Structures are given as C-alpha cells and as structure tokens.
A and B are shown apart, each in its own frame.
Chain A
Amino acid sequence: MAELANFLDDQVAAEIRRELEIHLAHCRTCQALYDSARKTLTIVTESHSFELPEEVSSRILERIMSKVRGGRQGRSNPSGRPRKRH
C-alpha cells in the first residue's frame, strides 16, 4: 500500500515500479483501482476547487492591510475578532 502511494507520485525505485506494473498487467481489480486513482488525481488537480472569489480576495486584502497599517499606529492585537461583513 505504501508503495502504491509512491507509485501514484512517480516516486518508486525503478525495480519496485516494474514489480507493480507486472502485477497491474494481470490483476484487473488493481488495474481498475490504480487507473481510477490516477484519474482522481488529475480530476482534483484540475478542478480549481475552492477558488477564492475575486471580491472576497480584495476584501480580505483590504482588511489585512488596513489592520497592518493601523497596527503600526499603535494597535497591538491585530489578531482580534475581525469586523463583521457588511
């Protein structure tokens, strides 16, 4: 199982990779499992899930920077509860 994790990340030594491939070549269950695990990786990587919406991004930036700049003028606890959203 640990090797499978490395295998998915292309990090196994050549010999073990070959071993796994020999096994995959004639074990239909593992082949389906491996193939779908690879596809899962691709799907997740390319899904752009949980993108930060543009307006939230600028709101966060604005608030952080106002506290950081404000903090320079005397505020000592910038990690206090943030303002409620409008």
Chain B
Amino acid sequence: VGFLPEAELGEAFWPFSFFREHFGFIPNLFRAQTLLPRVIEAEAKIADAILLKEKALSRRQKECILLAVSAAHRNTYCVTAHCQMLRTIGVADRQLRQMTIDHRGAGLPRPDVALLDFGLKLTRQPTRVSRQDIDGLRRHGFEDEAILEAILTAAFTDFVCTLSEGLDAVPDFRPRKLPSKRIPLRGNVRPRAAHGHETPKPYLRAVELRPEAFAPFAFFRETFGFIPNIFRAQTLRPDVLEAEAEALRTVLLTDDVLPRVQKEYILLAISAANLNTYCVAVHCEMLRALGIPEDESDQIAVNHRQAGLPVADAALLDFALKLSQHPTEVGQEDIDRLRTHGFTDEQILESIVMTGLTSYLNTLQMGLGTVPDFEPRRVFGVQAGPARKAASRAGDEMLNRLGIPAGLTDVDQDVVRPVVVTDPDGDLVARVRGGDVGAFEELVRRHQRRIYRTLIGITGNAEDAEDGTQNAFLKAFERIGKFRGAARFSTWLVRIAINEGIQRLRTRKKVTGLDDDGSKGAEEFRPRQVQAWDDNPEQLYSKAEMRELVEKSLMKLPAGYRMVVMLRDLEQLSTEEAAKALGLGVAALKSRLLRGRLMLREALAPHFISRGKGPTRV
C-alpha cells in the first residue's frame, strides 16, 4: 500500500521472525521492501546492533532519541512506531505527547534532555556539531561508549525516516498527530569556529583493531584499498561495525539491481548537499577507483544537473536529493517519474535504501568528527561566501572547457547548459516557409493558448487579447521568412505578442513599456504577510474559485511583473526563454520574477493563511 509493490516472503524469512520477537509486530517499513530481501536483512542487523542490544545506553534512552528526531523530521510513520515501542516499555502517553512537542517539558532527567538536545542538533544542524557538544555530554556523565551509541541512534533515525518517506510506509498503529510547529532547537545552537581551528582528530576514543584479527576491517581494506576513518572511529562497538560492513556489502557494493556507480553518485550528491566534506572526499576517491574522472565527480558534487550525466542518471539524483532534502514532499509522482525513465521497482527501492544509508553515513560522520582519508578537493563551510566562491570556481573550470571565458556569466551558471536545444516547431516552420499554409494552421493551434494568455497578461482585457492574438499570428506569418532560429519559434512568437500587447496598451491607456511599469515601487517591496499558510491551500476553494483568485491577484501586479510571472509560472517557459522573450537579461528576469512571485504571494496570502490567527506585520 506504499509507493512500491510488495512480495510475499513468508514467515520463515528470519528478519520477520526477528522483528516479531523484538518489536511484537513486523513493521510496515520492512514489508515495503520485500522486493529486495537482502536489504531487509542488512537493516535488521543494523537495528539489532544499534537499537536492541543494550550496552551503554538503555533501550528507552535510544527510543527517546528516535522519537524526538522523528518528530523533528515530521515523520508520522516513525513517530507512531516509536511511541508504540516506548509505550510497551512503560512510558506514559502524556509524556510521549510532550516529547513530540518539546522534550524539555517532558519531565526527563537532565542528562537525557541533553542527550536529546544533542541528537536534534546532530540531525538538524549537523555542520554545527563540534567537540564542545561532545564535551557537554561528557559533563553530563556520558562515557564515550554512550555518546557513540547516541550518534549511532541519531544516524539510524535519519536512515529509517528517509526510508519511510521514500517508501510511503503506512503507520502500523493509529497515526500519532504531529504538533503544528517543529520542535525548537535550543541549547548548543551557536555558530562555532570552522573546522580548521580545531585539532583534526575524531571526537571519541577508539581502540586498535587489526584487520588480520577483525573481519570487517579486512573486508574494507580488501574492497576499498583502505579502512575509512569513519569506521576506525567506531571501534568501541565492533558488532556495529560488522553490521555496517554487511550493509555496505549488500546495498552499496552489489551491481545486480542498480550499478555501483549510480549508487556512488547518490552518495556523492547527497553528501555534498549535506555539506559533508568527509563523505564527498571518500566517494570522489571511490568513483576515481571505478574510472570516473575527478572533474566529473566534482561537478556532480556541485550540481549534478550540469555534470553531463545521462538523463536517467540525473533524474535518479533529482529523486535521491529530493528524498534526502525534502523527504515529506516525496510523492507517488516522483516514483512514477523514475519509472518513465525506465527504472524498475527494484531499482527504485534500492535508490531509496541508498539514500537512507547515505543519510546514516553523513549523520554518523558529523557526529564522529572524523578527518578525511584523502586530501579533500572541496571543503564545505557553513558560511555562504566561500561556498559560493567554490561553486563559482568550479563553474569557471567548466566554462573554460566549453571555451567560454570565465566571468562572463553569473555565479550559478544556469545560463550555460551544454545541451543542444532543438526547436520542436522547426519542421512546421520550414514547411510554412516552403508555402504550406496548413502547417501554419498547426502552429496557430499549438500556440494560440499561450499567445492569448500572454496578451491578457499585458492588456488585462479579453477583447484586446483576442484581437491581439490574431494580429500577432498574422505578423509572425508575414515575417516568418526573417525568423533565423536564434531562439525557439515559440519564444520569437511570444516576443511578437508582447510587442503587440504593449502597442495596444499605449494606444489605449498611454502606459509606457514594461521596463518602468511599477518597478520603482517594487524595488522597495517587502513582504508584509508572514503568517504561515494552510497546509493544503488548494483544498480551501473550488477549482473555479481558485482560478478566479489567481486571475484577480495577477491582475493586481504591475504589468512588468505580471508578464514575468505568467511566462515562467503559467506558460512554464524556462528562465532563459522568458528573458529572451522579454528582452531582459537573465539576472534582471530573475529578480523581477522573485518580486513578482512575492507580490502575488502577498495578494493571495489573506485567502490562505492558517485560520485562527490574523496577519502579522514585519
């Protein structure tokens, strides 16, 4: 009943009897992965080592971390499951409810509050975790073994939360309601000095384990050629290392469902999105060992959409990044999109598990503070400045390769796409030029909706739009011999329509062009309505009411902004196409688009603000 179909594995499948024995039920999270039994086995081993074995932390303490972090991720499935587990070990319902709102008011002992503070910081602001946080836990009496378990539990929570969102696992019990606001982060949230000012060594004590005597280390050395520091830092728990080695063997190192390279791409792209310098360095190295040039890996880390990957690979990374960065927004349509790119359900499942495993490794690494095994090519910082410069440098390198002098484009280079764009109207245009009037009729049919809307956007009047549409097409017909194909035919046509619309406005209302229309006032535009919106605004009104609201609100915008918003968001033109059509630079278009969208948001806000509160002003 989740996104993917299930297979029948039978009660004899050992992880299922294991779950029933320890949890009292078989969580739907695992039933949803029956297409790949091997990953369920790996996950059961991880769950056993991290959650079920009671060593330094009690099961109850670990369940509390799971609950608080799941609530912070707004993950109904995991909150429901771990409320149930805590209830079976005797935690009262009131306390559980309070923990999902704010654990600080739940009457927990002070060390446990500190433990949850740490777990929340590690999962929500991992780049800000530092040795001071570890020392803080030590002051509360936690030994390194206990701190390691807290880190592992937080990482495990990220793993299962990612899985459950990606699979759309159905809660096993009556779903718990989540509070409307996220748990506020408190305590150790101050920004801290950059990594460079710290002693570069892991935060926790480790013991010596020799590969000759410890199978997982022998396995890492044999498979990767070295023993990654992230594993050397967990030697206080050899049993966890065994489970992790097994998970890597069955999830990452297999080639039978998704190729290993695609899984490394997922690891790399998500680690970069999580600003995890360590994991990016390690997986660039692993990709190099698999024959992928460093430049390519680096470009995937910066922006996979500009890495020249096959379309399907890029779509897979789009999905993995959405799941890791916006897990609650993943829907059936994302799964279907992967299917249209030719991915099988097994492959989709494996990409979800891989995304979960990456979240696990990223969180684990941030908690352990391990130093990279290799000189990192790219060091991620918390400040926007250096990161932006790094992105810019990588972009310059790419431009050089394309023969474009650096510095000619904006920092983010979404202007430059090394893709040849073919005009979908090219054939028809050629036929019209050859005298085929019927081909022009087809062009009118294809584009009249867009042209009509463009004109209504400018003139604000249905009659003008109708006459203008007719004129624009007739002008296009007259001039089609001069159309050079520098832009798409549709862009060229929209530009004709815009000029037509402006002319009509001028004769009618003596309004000047788009450039200075209202833009002065908008320069100082500041959002005033900052109240949160209803969760499902589209359900508040009927479709017709919604359309009327949008049309009226759009009409309130100055024409210059209305046009930009309409071309981008109604007509779905790309940024570049819209800029060309309006004769604007990309940067100017973007700033106008943002303001236009914000103005529109402002106009719509009174209709969609969550009920019960009036608008506030800033």
Contacts and interface: CB of A to CB of B under 8 A. Distances in A.
Nearest to B574: A9
Contacts of B546: 43, 47
B590 A29 contact: no
Nearest to A76: B478
B606 to A, nearest CB: 11
Point out which of A4, A18, A31, A49 has the most chain B C-beta atoms below 10 A from its C-beta.
Answer: A49
B135 to A, nearest CB: 23
Contact of A4 (B269, B531, B594): B594
Given A3-B384, A36-B601, A60-B448, 7 more contacts: A15-B380, A25-B182, A36-B608, A40-B600, A42-B538, A57-B448, A61-B444
Nearest to B392: A13
Interface string B541-579: 001001101110010000000000100011010010000
Contact of A49 (B184, B390, B477, B554): B554
Contacts of B453: 49-50, 52
A31 to B, nearest CB: 8
Given A19-B384, A50-B453, A41 B569 contact: yes
Contacts of B593: 5
B530 A32 contact: yes
B531 A32 contact: yes
Given A5-B594, A49-B554, A26 B604 contact: no
Interface of A: 1-6, 8-9, 11-19, 21-22, 25-26, 29, 31-33, 35-37, 39-52, 56-57, 59-61, 63-65, 67-69, 71-72, 78-79, 82, 85
Nearest to B453: A50
B412 A43 contact: no
Contacts of B388: 13, 15-16
Contacts of B189: 26
Interface of B: 124-125, 127, 182, 184-185, 189, 269, 272-275, 301-303, 321, 325, 380, 382, 384, 387-388, 390-391, 412, 414, 437, 440-441, 444-445, 448-449, 452-453, 456-457, 462-463, 466-467, 469-471, 473-475, 477-478, 527, 530-533, 537-538, 543, 546-547, 549-551, 554, 565, 569-570, 572, 575, 587, 590-591, 593-594, 597-598, 600-601, 604-605, 608, 618
A29 B528 CA distance: 11
Contacts of A61: 441, 444-445, 448
B302 A14 contact: yes
A36 B532 contact: yes
A4 B425 CA distance: 33
Contact of B565 (A19, A44, A72): A44
A47 B608 CA distance: 15
Given A11-B412, A13-B412, A44-B565, A52 B449 contact: yes
Contacts of B414: 6, 11
B551 A49 contact: yes
A32 B605 CA distance: 11
B451 to A, nearest CB: 9
Contacts of B470: 60, 63-64, 82
B597 A78 contact: no
A24 B470 CA distance: 47
The 9 closest A-B pairs by CB, nearest first: A5-B594, A15-B387, A47-B550, A13-B391, A78-B474, A40-B601, A32-B532, A14-B273, A36-B533
Given A9-B575, A57-B448, A18 B600 contact: no
A47 B547 contact: yes
B106 to A, nearest CB: 21
Contact of A17 (B325, B448, B467, B471): B325
A51 B275 contact: no
Contacts of A56: 452, 462, 466
A14 B270 CA distance: 9
Contacts of A40: 597, 600-601, 604
A49 B437 contact: no
Contact of A2 (B125, B551, B594): B594
Contacts, number: 189
Given A6-B412, A78-B474, A19 B387 contact: yes
Point out which of A1, A6, A16, A50 has the most chain B C-beta atoms below 10 A from its C-beta.
Answer: A50
19 contacts: A1-B594, A8-B597, A15-B390, A17-B325, A18-B127, A18-B275, A39-B537, A41-B569, A44-B569, A45-B569, A47-B546, A48-B543, A48-B547, A52-B449, A64-B477, A68-B477, A72-B437, A78-B478, A85-B466
A37 B598 contact: yes
A57 B449 CA distance: 8
A16 B601 contact: no
Nearest to A46: B538
A21 B537 CA distance: 23
B409 to A, nearest CB: 13
Contacts of A50: 452-453, 456-457, 551, 570
A2 B591 contact: yes
B547 A79 contact: no
Point out which of A8, A37, A52, A61 has the most chain B C-beta atoms below 10 A from its C-beta.
Answer: A52
Contact of A69 (B437, B449, B604): B437
A64 B474 contact: yes
A63 B533 CA distance: 45
Contact of B440 (A16, A52, A59, A68): A68
Contact of A68 (B182, B382, B474, B594): B474
Contacts of A39: 533, 537, 608
A78 B533 CA distance: 50
A35 B530 CA distance: 10
Contacts of B575: 9, 11
Contact of B570 (A4, A22, A26, A49): A49
A74 to B, nearest CB: 14
B302 A33 contact: no
Contact of B441 (A3, A5, A15, A65): A65
A68 B101 CA distance: 68
B273 A78 contact: no
Contacts of A3: 384
Contacts of B185: 25-26
B474 A13 contact: no
A43 B469 CA distance: 26
Contacts of A17: 273, 325
B591 A29 contact: no
